[in-house]
Structure formats: C-alpha cells, structure tokens
Amino acid sequence: MPILRLLSETETLALPPRAAPVAARCDVLVIGGGPAGMGAALGAAWAGADVILTERQAFLGGNPTVALVNPLMSWHTQRKPPAAADMTRLLPQDHGEGDPIVAGALQHVLDRLLAAGGALPPTVETGYTVPFDPETYKSVALEVLDEAGVRILLHAFATDVCRRDGRPRGVIYESKSGPFVIQAGCIVDGSGDGDIAVKAGADFAIGRSEDGRVQPMTLMFRIGDFDPDAFAAYVRQNPDQWRGVHGLWDLIRQATESGELDLPREDILFFATPHPHELSVNSTRVTGMLGTSIFDVSRAEIEARRQMGQIMGFLRRRVPGFAHAYVIQAGTHIGVRETRRIVGDYTLTAEDVLGAAKFDDGIARASYPVDIHNPTGKGTVLKRLPPGAWYDVPLRCLLPRGVENLLVGGRCISGTHEAHSSYRVTPTAMATGQAAGVCAALAARQGLRTREVASEAIRTELRRQGAIL
Ligand SMILES: Cc1cc2nc3c(=O)[nH]c(=O)nc-3n(C[C@H](O)[C@H](O)[C@H](O)COP(=O)(O)OP(=O)(O)OC[C@H]3O[C@@H](n4cnc5c(N)ncnc54)[C@H](O)[C@@H]3O)c2cc1C
C-alpha cells in the first residue's frame, strides 16, 4: 500500500509569521485528556485552581478510550506470586492481591464508572484489574471534570509554548478555527509524549539505552457476539491450551505453520469486558515505529489493521465460541506505549521499581511490574515487585530539568525505559497526573515557581484529596 513518507529531513521552508487570538486565561492549563490529564485537572481544580483541560480528540480518556486500552491494570500490591489468572473469567482465579495503593482521582472515576454500570469492580475474579466500557468511560470523564469546574476544549492540538519573562506562560493550539493561545499561570503536559514540555526546552530520552528502540504499538479492538459457554467448554476439554492469560497454543501454532497467521506475537491475548458476549483483544504488534512521527503511525495503523483482519479470521474459523464474533470497534488511534520520556530532576530506574524505593518527595505509589513488550519482535519481559511491595514516584520525576512553570504527568515522566514500563499503566498515570495538577495549582495560586512549592504541601493536599501516600 502506498504510504506517504517524509521527503527530506533537511529541506525546510520558512513559514509566514502570524497572530493568534488569546482564547482564554486560567491558573492551570492541562494538555491532554488522558489518565494523566484527567488526574491533573481534577487535582488542580480540587486544590482551588481555575483549570482548563484541552484535548486533540473529540472525547476524553486518552489510551483507555482513544486506543480502547482495557482493563485498568491492578493498583494493588501482590500478596503472593499469582497463579494462572484468567481474564476471561472462565477458569478459577488466584491472583493473590494485597492492598490498594492508589485512590484519589482514580477512585473517584472508578466509583462513578461503577455507579454508571460501566465497569466491573476489582476482585479476585478480574485479577484485581477493572474491565470497563469505553463509551461509559468517555461520558463519566466529561461528568467528573464538569462537576469539578474544569473548562474543557476538544479538537485542540497543542503545538508550542508562549513565554513571558523567559518562562512558559501559555500554549499555542492549532484547530479547525485556526491558531489560538491559552495563557496560564502554570502548565501540565499530559500529552503522553511530552509534546509541550519539549517545546518549553525540556530534554528527553527515547527507548532502550542500547539502541533507542521503544515498546511496540498495538491496535486494540472489541469483539462482539462471543459465546463464552462454547469457549469455556473448549478450554475445559483442552486445559493445556490455556496458561495464564495467554492461550490457544496448538491452534496458533497450526495456523502459523499453514501461513494463516503471520503475527509478530506468539499468543493471542484478550480480556473480559463488563459485557459477557464482548472481549477486548490486545494482540496486534507493530515494532520499529515511533508514536511521535505521523509517518510511522500511519504505517503502523495500516499494518495493525492487516493483523486485526488475520486475528479475526483465525478466531472465527478455528476457535470455538467465535464463530459469529465480529469487530465492534477498533481504536480511533493505534495504542502507543512509549515515546519520549522527559528528563526530570530525578530519573526513576528499574532498581527503584523492583527494589520498592521510597522517597521523601513521593507523590504517588505504584506496584505494577516491569512489563516490556519486545521492541523488536515476539516475547514480553515481566519482572514483579516482591510480595506486598510498592515504590514511590518522587515529585522530581514530574519536574522537567531546567524548565519552570510546567510539569509532566503520566507516561512521559522522568524514568528509564525499564521503569517506564511499570509506571506507564493507567492508574499510576492518573496518580502522577493528579500530583502534577496539585503542584501546578499551588504554584499558580501562590505565585511561586514550581520548585518553590514544598513537596510536603503537595503531599498534604493530595492526602486531603484521598490519595494514598
Ligand atoms: C496497547 C496498549 C495496551 C496497554 N495496556 C494497558 C492495560 O491493560 N492497563 C493499563 O492500565 N494500562 C495499559 N496501557 C498503558 C496506558 O494505557 C497508558 O500508558 C496510559 O493511558 C498513559 O496515560 P497518559 O495520560 O500519560 O497518556 P495517554 O493515555 O496517551 O493520553 C494522552 C492524551 O493527550 C492527548 N494529546 C496528545 N498530544 C496532544 C497534543 N499535542 N495536544 C492535545 N492533546 C494531545 C491524546 O489524544 C490523549 O488523549 C497500555 C497501553 C497501550 C498502548
């Protein structure tokens, strides 16, 4: 398929200078309506700030809704190593989870999702993950932000910063209405890619230290008309076909040998949803592409759709329970796991994660394993924290080195490739976003630089907002 590639990295044209209207002013301006952006907007608004949240898509949620990333991974410590966890809820469970270590904004959103019938609660049956309905999630996101008094603007692509006194004091947007500016006391970059932090002058790292390669992208999709009883009967008769959340080994091997399946993944991974006849499939894999290049992303979207077609054909033809299944919806945007990691005042490491490090300026707790989908092909590395353990994310990871008036939250905070693979999950992204929002609110309302806000003041406000610290 002919896909447009960049003609030249070096041949450029100067663009004409232009003016843009100031659309609004606020205390805290948040870029991105994903888990980090939602956490930041709620944290800042609950801390008393006048907040604007801007999002490039037509709806809020980030990866969980844009890329259909389901479920919310567990935010509980593990009491003991997990036995076979079955996300399809068709086999006995023994995930051995301990205590919750994230609450605050996440708990608020979860309570509303549950009340709306749009999620399953975290129990031993779901492996302490939370399967949710993405359309309900979109509505709940709007409702909770509206109730917190956050002003929302959709279809707004943030492209650059405006400076005053050398510091970022506003963000430039491109839109159908043309360019415009929003001015702010303090900015939180929840774009996942650190788009605006980089424009403000922040350094960043990409990928593995040895070769710069990042985790693969995955186009997730929802399947309807799945027959759980027929599938359960098949699994009961063929228990050796199902280990952990991965399975269908013989069927996949046969289909691969016959050329029916040609996938850079050795298994087919799917998750239960709140709807018994619906599954969420996380099995396409596109390597060697970067999510901040639309040229790469375009190629990745097309390749992932090819894989989705193969997977659906395979499931329908070969796997009991899928004969009438069909794709309800694929992600609006292919799921991007890893792009820029902004270099902050501290860089979190795998040793910090696996050694359950604690910090005086800890603003969020996390316990999800190091989980690296192979950047070059098949296989996934999974390294768990010890039973009962969690690590702290320090405030310094949210403060881009050498940049004032701007914080990052979510998957683009400061850490190594390995540490990122743990703190990137949705619950942790929302928690670091909430902390960034609180710091931004305290700075903007008291006229302080971000680094002048005492970490203990942020921790106190986060606790008041229900965070577990
Ligand atoms: C395939 C895949 C599977 C995953 N599986 C799981 C899982 O099972 N469970 C789990 O908990 N986590 C999972 N994750 C991780 C998790 O989904 C993300 O890391 C998490 O969503 C990060 O949140 P974030 O807010 O930092 O970034 P994002 O979710 O990427 O949100 C960023 C938001 O900012 C917007 N944005 C970006 N740039 C701009 C801009 N310039 N201007 C305006 N808006 C902008 C985007 O549209 C988006 O809404 C998975 C991720 C992927 C890709």
pLDDT at 242: 63
pLDDT at 161: 97
pLDDT at 4: 86
pLDDT at 85: 43
Over range 47-74, report the average pLDDT. Answer: 97
User: Residue 111 — pLDDT band, cuts 50, 70, 90?
Assistant: very high
Instruction: Report whether residue 249 contacts ligand 1, using a CB cutoff of 6 Å.
Output: no
- Determine the Cα–Cα distance for residues 331 and 328; give it in Å rounded to an integer: 10
How much of the chain exceeds pLDDT 90, in percent? 81
Instruction: Report whether residue 333 contacts ligand 1, using a CB cutoff of 6 Å.
Output: no
Q: pLDDT by residue (tens digit) across 331-377?
A: 999 999 999 999 999 999 999 999 999 999 999 999 999 999 999 98
HEC assignment per residue over the chain? CCCCCCCCCCCCCCCCCCCCCEEEEEEEEEECCCHHHHHHHHHHHHCCCCEEEECCCCCCCCHHHHCCCCCECCCEEECCCCCCCCCCCCCCCCCCEEEECCCHHHHHHHHHHHHCCCECCCCHHHCCCECECHHHHHHHHHHHHHHCCCEEECCCEEEEEEEECCEEEEEEEECCCCCEEEEEEEEEECCCCCHHHHHCCCCEEECCCCCCCCCCEECCEEEECCCHHHHHHHHHHCHHHEECCEECHHHHHHHHHCCCCCCCCCCEEEEECCCCCCEEECCCCECCCCCCCHHHHHHHHHHHHHHHHHHHHHHHHHCCCCCCCEEEEECCCCECCCCEEECECCCECHHHHHCCCCCCCEEEEECCCEEEECCCCCCEEEECCCCCCCEEEEHHHHCECCCCCEEECHHHCCECHHHHHHHCCHHHHHHHHHHHHHHHHHHHHHCCCHHHCCHHHHHHHHHHCCCCC
Q: pLDDT by residue (tens digit) across 191-236?
A: 999 999 999 999 999 999 999 999 999 999 999 999 999 998 888 8
pLDDT at 82: 53
Which residue is closest in CA terms to ligand 1's atom 48? 62
- Determine the Cα–Cα distance for residues 350 and 70; give it in Å rounded to an integer: 25
Q: pLDDT by residue (tens digit) across 224-282?
A: 999 999 998 888 887 776 654 456 778 888 899 999 998 888 788 888 899 999 999 99
Q: pLDDT by residue (tens digit) across 274-325?
A: 999 999 999 999 999 999 999 999 999 999 999 999 999 999 999 999 999 9
Q: Ligand 1 pocket check: which of 65, 129, 191 to mutate, most ligand atoms within 8 Å of Cβ?
A: 191
User: Residue 126 — pLDDT band, cuts 50, 70, 90?
Assistant: confident
More confident residue, 45 or 6: 45
Which residue is closest in CA terms to ligand 1's atom 26? 410
pLDDT at 128: 87
Q: Return the minimum-mean-pLDDT range out of 43-47, 79-83, 165-169, 446-450.
A: 79-83
Q: Return the minimum-mean-pLDDT range out of 86-90, 178-182, 209-213.
A: 86-90
Q: Ligand 1 pocket check: which of 63, 171, 176, 214 to mutate, most ligand atoms within 8 Å of Cβ?
A: 63
List the domains of the chain with CATH numbers. Answer: 22-83+99-211+338-373+380-464 (3.50.50.60), 221-330 (no CATH)
Distance 165 CA to ligand 1 centre (A): 32
pLDDT at 246: 53
pLDDT at 88: 41
- State the average pLDDT for the chain: 93
